[in-house]
Amino acid sequence: MSKCHFCHAEITVPFQCNYCGKYFCEDHRLPENHKCIGAPARTPLGSYQTKAAIAAMTQEKERKSLKNLTPSVTYGNKFGHSFRVPSEVYLDEKYFEKLNGARTLEQVEQIIQDYYKHHPKGT
């Protein structure tokens, strides 16, 4: 019979840890349950999604806080590209989503042209 390396309980079916190689009972078989020093660091589930959601909320907050409209706005989209666009295009929900998906300057210019085609200046 073996003994659990953590609690020293007698065990008939020991579990060997893949990280430290020691044997444990069913209660202490997981690395976090026996404070394994060989286990890799764990990150919280959804950390990437959480960071992306926070970034999106921040971007939306900044976008809505443009009280003093400037002629143009420089912003970064979800691909990490930065573009300078007219503020009225940037503030339009529909066109903001299109701008957020743009990968090239040509695509951004096409989106701006499309905006002004449907929203003539001065109206």
Segment 10-36, tens digit of pLDDT? 998 899 998 899 999 999 999 889 999
The yes-or-no verdict on residue 8 having pLDDT over 90 is yes
pLDDT for 64-103, tens place per residue? Answer: 665 455 567 676 777 777 778 888 888 888 988 888 888 8
Q: What is the pLDDT of residue 66?
A: 53
Dist. CA 84–CA 55, nearest whole Å? 19
The yes-or-no verdict on residue 107 having pLDDT over 60 is yes
Do 83 and 90 contact (CB within 8 A), yes or no? no
Q: Where are the domains of the chain?
A: 2-33, 47-118
Residue 60 DSSP label: H
